[in-house]
Structure 1
Amino acid sequence: MTINLIGVDCATDPRNMGYAFGTFSEQGAVVEKAVLGTRELPPAKAIADWLTHRSGPTLLALDAPLGWPDPMAQQLATHNAGEPLNGTANDLFRRETDRFIRERIGKQSLDVGADRIARTAHAALELLESVRHLLQCPITLAWNPAFDGLRAIEVYPAATLVAHGIESTGYKAANGQAARERVAQSVGSLIQIDAPIPAMESKSDALDAVICLLAAQDFLTGKAMPPNNHAPTLKEGWIWVRDPVKW
Structure 2
Amino acid sequence: MEPAQLNQGLEPPPERPAEILGELPADVASADQRAAPRFTLLIRAAKLVSAQGEFVCVIRDVSETGVSVRLFHALPTCTDYALHMPAGAIYEISRVWQRDNEAGFSFDGSVDVAKLVNESSEYPKRGLRLGLCFPVMVHGLTGSFEAVVENLSQQGARITCDALLSIDQNVRIVVPSLMGKPRDVRAKVRWRRDRHYGVVFDDTFTLGEFARLAALLQAPALLEG
Q: What TM-score does the superposition give when structure 1 sets the normalisation length?
A: 0.25
Higher RCO (CA 8 Å, separation ≥ 6 residues): 1
* Between structures 1 and 2, the one with greater helix share: 1
Q: Counting strand residues as a fraction of each chain, which structure ranks higher?
A: 2
Larger Rg: 2
Question: With structure 2 as the length reference, what TM-score do the two structures score?
Answer: 0.27
